[in-house]
Structures are given as C-alpha cells and as structure tokens.
C-alpha cells in the first residue's frame, strides 16, 4: 500500500469544484470550475492570489501560500474589490514545493450566489449540502406562503363571525352583545355622548291584530327609521322585542337629543302599510347624557335612560323624558288614541 | 391524510374538470364546497371517499385518475413549487430516479407531518428500473407513474412506464434516452413568486 494519495488535478476539480491550488510563491495554479464561474471575465490561473482574493479571516495570518506541509487553517475569502459573496473553507499545506490547496464553500450565502451566478446542480460537489439547503429554503417559503394564506382566511372568518355575533338577524341592527363594547369605546372619549332607550308604543296591538309577520315587518321598518335618523357614527341596538337603545356619539347635547327624539317619534307615527293594512305605532323614549354625571358608568346611564322611558310611558307615551328630570312636553307631537 | 394532498386533489378536479364538477364531487363526498385547507389534517376516510365519488362522477377507474393526478402535480403551472422541489432531486432523469428514495424524507423536512409513499428503486438491468411504492393507500404506483411520466417530459427523457400489478405492485421504468428532447428550464434560483401553489 502506498502511504500517499496522489490525485490528478482533474480529479481534484471534480471532487472540489470550489478549490484553489496555490504555488509556493502565491500564484494561482488551478481553480475549481465553479469558483472560476464566479469570475467569468477573469482568467484566474496564472494570477496572483493577493490580486484576486482578500483573506478576510484570519486577518493577520501572513501569506497563506506559505503554510507548511500538512498544516491547516480555516479561512474566509472574498473577491478583492467586492463586498459580496464570502467563501469559507480550509487551506492545507501540500509540502515539498507543491504549494497550498484551499477547498471552499458558500456557506449561508449560497442562496444569493446561485441567483447571482446562475449555478446549477452540477456546479456543486456531490457531498455539498448546498442543494439540500436551497431545497429547504424553497420548500419553507412555499409552506410559509400557504400558512399565511390560511391565517388570512381565518382572520377574515373571525371578523365575519364576530360581526354576525353582534348582529340582530331580524333587523340587521346590532344586538345587545354590542352594548358593552360600544359603551366602553364612548366612555373613552372626552365628549359627552347620549343614551336613548326607545320602546315602541302599541306594538303589541299590531302583533295581536295583524299577526307576527306584520309585527316583524313593523320592527324592520322601525329599525330602518332609527338608522336613518341617526348618524353613521351612532349605534342602534335592538335589545329584544320592541326595545331599542341608541348610543349617540359625542359631542351630544340635550337639545340635539330632543331634536333627534322628535324626528324619530314623528316618523314612527307615520302608518306602516303591510298586506293591505295600516299598522300604527309610536315610541316612548328615555334619554341620558353622559355629561350630567361626574363619573358616568354604563349601567347607571342605561338604568337612568330606562327609568326616563318609564316616565314617558306613564306620562301618556309618544314622548321623550330626560334622566335628569327635565320631562319634555308632548305638545305638537300628537298622540295616538 | 394531510391537507396538502386533499387540496391537490381538489385543485386537480377544479382545474381539469371545472368548478361545477368539483361542486358535485364535494357534495357527493360530503366535503365543504370551499374544500380543504392545505395546512390542516383530515381523516383518511375523507380522501378515499372523495376519490371514490370522483371516480364515479367521471366514470373513470381510480388507477387512471391517480395517474392523471400525478401528471397534474408536476405539469400544472399552478403547482410550479412541486415541480421545482422534485427537480432538486437531480440534474438528469437518471439522477432524479435515484433520488426518489429520499423523497419522503425531503418532504418531511419541509412539512414534518406529510406522509408520502415509501419508495424503493431497484435496478433491473442496464436501463430498466423497478419503483416499489409502499403506502397506506392503494394506487401509489399509479400516482407515481403519473409523476414519473411528467418528470420525464420535464427532463426531456424518453421513458416507457408500466404499472405491474401483483403481490407487490411496482412501476416498471425503461429509460430509452436520457436526453431525448430539450426538457424544461430549471434554475436553482427561484424566481420571485414562483412558489405559489
């Protein structure tokens, strides 16, 4: 058995497509085919190592081509005059005037290098895991894109479900679940906001006389009127049955609430036609204004608006009462009999 | 079964036979018309049931359908990512063939819970091979023969493929010419947006 392994330079090129063979005086003797591909315009063999390469690590190692027989050194190289692709590898002294062999690899910069230099599968050593790494990067990107799409779809579904959970199916208004979050939002604002509790008058009579289909129709019409007579920034909630709560965005004043309530009552009193019959309703309203309280609490405002609503009912319906005791006259609004 | 596989079948039906065909298959198989999420898992029975309904709806034997599905997975531009990931297997068709045994492992690197057929490549003479497929589902050989047919086109190789049924079914592969035609372009570097499946 010979104690030395002798390789033909072509075999070295096949085994290590990214190798450099330096002469003992620092000239480039041979370059691996892939390494040569990275410098297409420059004929590397015959050139000076120092002219073409920049030894980045170790910085102060001295001339790398003087490595002694069998001595090794981990190195990091870059092409001189470029900031890009750094190659890393191992240099080994070949001894007896044979120079130094450096075997290189791309490391993590392989993804960019492949794109920049148009490398193919055959440009890598059979043992190089570069291709596996490219494969993984690409597979990971594809899977990530798929996961992102799933997350987006789930996000949209969540928003839709939430919207649905807060919606009253008969009228399309918000339901009582929306009360808490909207109140909380209004309380965070400095401006005074209004709470109006609206109860339809004579709704039970409509249901009893004309049936539930008529009742549902009347509720839908009433919901539409409530929405038309308020602004987009206000919230109209159907609490259930024929009870509604209006949360009126600030800045709100008593005078404005009075005007809104008057319009609502007037419009609700217009007879609603349904299957040849005319359904007649009106509304009793109780209102509270957040600026009437030192520390406005949602429960308190709702409770006081509710109390004011009952005051309106007791006073003969079709009217507005304020929680602070200023009961409004019904003069001119008309009442139903 | 992994959602990726179910989703692939769904895309195959939609792209090949149209949205209406998919609606009918989904209804018959009691699958949501929106279909499958690629990153979720589903019961195996959902997949087998769907394939049966598909076979019935199209009056095509399952073997033929699976082979068409295999070809679709590679050849359809919408699934460019699959073709590219397979092309990483080797520089020519022969190398690709030898890389097939690594395929389930490679797939698991990307999607840890993706179960693909266990593959075994045996040489059967100079240019003849046997691909033995082991899977929990029947028809793996047909699916693989569809994939191989499309990959041969992709590499520009001329091959003869036959599924041999028996105790252990396998795909018989005869490589007549590895460089018969030009083949499709493959750059190691991915063009931005090319991985959208």
Closest residue of B to A141, CA-based? B195
On whether both B99 and B55 belong to a single domain, the answer is no
Contacts of A142 in chain B (CB under 8 A): 81, 85, 110, 195-197
**Is B99 a member of any domain?**
yes
According to CATH, the topology of domain A9-128 is: Beta-Lactamase (3.30.450)
Q: B189 and A143: CB-CB below 8 Å?
A: no
Which of B37, B60, B83 is where one domain is finished?
B60
On whether both B52 and B116 belong to a single domain, the answer is no
Chains A, B: CB contacts within 8 A come to: 64
Please list the active-site residues of A. 242
Alpha-carbon torsion (A42, A47, A52, A55), positive or negative: positive
Rg for chain B (alpha carbons), in Å? 17
User: Domain range holding B35?
Assistant: 3-60
Q: A119 and B40: CB-CB below 8 Å?
A: no
Q: A134 and B197: CB-CB below 8 Å?
A: no
pLDDT tens-place values along chain A, 337 residues long: 778 888 999 999 999 999 999 999 999 999 999 999 999 889 999 999 999 999 988 888 789 999 999 999 999 999 988 877 789 999 999 988 999 999 999 988 888 888 888 898 889 998 988 888 888 888 888 889 888 988 998 999 999 998 888 999 999 999 999 999 999 999 999 999 999 999 999 999 999 999 999 999 999 999 999 999 999 999 999 999 999 999 999 899 999 999 999 999 999 999 999 999 999 999 999 999 999 998 999 999 999 999 999 999 999 899 999 987 654 444 333 333 2
Q: First-to-last CA distance in chain A?
A: 122
Q: How many other C-beta atoms are found inside a 10 Å radius of the C-beta of residue B35?
A: 19
**Is B50 a member of any domain?**
yes
Q: Which of A114, A121, A138 sits opposite B90 (nearest CB)?
A: A121
Q: A118 and B189: CB-CB below 8 Å?
A: yes
Q: How far apart are CA A223 and CA A321, in angstroms?
A: 21
Q: Which of B37, B188, B197 sits opposite A150 (nearest CB)?
A: B37
**Is B134 a member of any domain?**
yes
On whether both B171 and B100 belong to a single domain, the answer is yes
Interface of A with B (CB under 8 A): 111, 114-115, 118-122, 131, 134-136, 138-143, 145-147, 149-150, 153
**Is B187 a member of any domain?**
no
CA distance A136 to chain B (A): 6
Q: B110 and A121: CB-CB below 8 Å?
A: no
How many domains would you assign to chain B? 2
Q: What angle do CA A217, A220, A225 make, to 5 degrees?
A: 125
CA distance A109 to chain B (A): 12
**Is B147 a member of any domain?**
yes
CA distance B126 to chain A (A): 23
Q: Which of A111, A118, A139 sits opposite B85 (nearest CB)?
A: A139
- Residue A36, class by beta-carbon neighbours within 10 Å (0-12 exposed, 13-18 middle, 19+ buried)? middle
Report the CATH number that the domain containing residue B135 is assigned in CATH. 3.90.1520.10
Q: How far apart are CA A191 and CA A206, in angstroms?
A: 39
Domain residue ranges in chain A:
9-128, 176-322
On whether both B117 and B161 belong to a single domain, the answer is yes
Task: Return phi, psi of residue A86, to 5°.
Answer: -100, 135
Q: State pLDDT tens for residues B48-88.
A: 999 999 999 999 999 999 999 999 999 998 888 889 989 99
**A13-32 per-residue burial string, b: 16 or more CB within 10 A, e: under 16:** beebbbbbbbbbebbbbbbb
Q: A118 and B106: CB-CB below 8 Å?
A: no
ipTM of the complex: 0.77
**Is B73 a member of any domain?**
no
On whether both B50 and B117 belong to a single domain, the answer is no
On whether both B128 and B173 belong to a single domain, the answer is yes
Give the CATH number of domain A176-322: 3.30.70.270
Q: How many other C-beta atoms are found inside a 10 Å radius of the C-beta of residue A279?
A: 21
**Is B162 a member of any domain?**
yes
On whether both B97 and B163 belong to a single domain, the answer is yes
Contact A182, A173 (CB under 8 A): no
Does residue A104 sit in helix, strand or coil? strand
Question: What would the two tokens of residue A168 be?
Answer: 């009253």
């Amino acid at each position: 058995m010979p104690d030395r392994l002798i390789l033909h330079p072509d075999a070295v090129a096949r085994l290590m497509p990214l190798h450099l063979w330096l002469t003992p005086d620092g000239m480039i003797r041979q370059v691996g085919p892939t390494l040569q591909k990275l410098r297409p315009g420059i004929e590397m063999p015959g050139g000076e190592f120092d002219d073409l390469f920049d030894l980045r690590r170790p910085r102060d190692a001295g001339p790398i081509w003087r490595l002694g027989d069998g001595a090794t050194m981990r190195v990091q190289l870059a092409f001189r005059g470029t900031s890009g692709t750094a190659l890393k590898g191992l240099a080994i002294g070949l001894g007896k005037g044979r120079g130094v062999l450096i075997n290189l690899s791309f490391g993590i910069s392989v993804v960019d290098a492949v794109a920049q230099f148009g490398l193919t599968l055959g440009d890598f050593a059979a043992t190089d895991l570069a291709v596996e790494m490219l494969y993984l990067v690409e597979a990971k990107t594809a899977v990530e894109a798929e996961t992102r799409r799933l997350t987006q779809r789930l996000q949209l579904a969540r928003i839709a479900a939430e919207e649905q959970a807060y919606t009253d199916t008969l009228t399309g208004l918000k339901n009582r679940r929306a009360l808490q979050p909207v109140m909380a939002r209004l309380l965070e604002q400095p401006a005074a906001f209004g709470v109006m509790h609206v109860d339809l008058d004579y709704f039970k009579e409509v249901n009893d006389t004309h049936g539930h289909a008529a009742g549902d129709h009347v509720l839908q019409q009433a919901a539409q009127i409530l929405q038309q007579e308020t602004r987009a920034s206000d919230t109209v909630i159907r609490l259930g049955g024929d009870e509604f709560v209006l949360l009126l965005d600030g800045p709100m004043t008593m005078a404005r609430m009075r005007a809104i309530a008057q319009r609502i009552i007037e419009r609700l009193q217009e007879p609603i036609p349904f299957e040849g019959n005319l359904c007649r309703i009106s509304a009793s309203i109780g209102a509270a204004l957040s600026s009437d309280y030192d520390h406005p609490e949602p429960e308190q405002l709702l409770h006081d608006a509710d109390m004011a609503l009952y005051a309106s009912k007791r006073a003969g319906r079709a009217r507005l009462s304020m929680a602070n005791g200023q009961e409004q006259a019904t003069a001119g609004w008309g009442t139903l009999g | 079964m992994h959602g990726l596989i179910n989703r692939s079948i769904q895309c195959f039906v939609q792209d090949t036979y149209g949205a209406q065909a998919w609606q009918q298959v989904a209804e018959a198989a009691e699958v949501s018309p929106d279909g499958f999420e690629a990153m979720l898992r589903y019961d195996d029975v959902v997949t087998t049931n769907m394939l049966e309904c598909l076979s019935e709806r199209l009056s095509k034997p399952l073997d033929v359908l699976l082979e068409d599905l295999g070809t679709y997975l590679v050849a359809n531009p919408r699934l460019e990512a699959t073709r590219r990931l397979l092309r990483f297997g080797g520089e020519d068709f022969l190398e690709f063939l030898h890389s097939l045994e690594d395929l389930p492992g490679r797939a698991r690197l990307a999607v840890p819970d993706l179960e693909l057929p266990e593959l075994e490549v045996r040489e059967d003479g100079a240019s003849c091979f046997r691909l033995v497929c082991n899977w929990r589902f029947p028809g793996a050989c047909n699916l693989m023969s569809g994939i191989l047919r499309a990959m041969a086109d992709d590499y520009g190789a001329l091959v003869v493929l036959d599924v041999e049924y028996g105790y252990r079914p396998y795909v018989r592969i005869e490589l007549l010419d590895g460089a018969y035609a030009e083949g499709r372009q493959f750059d190691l570097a991915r063009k931005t947006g090319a991985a959208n499946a």
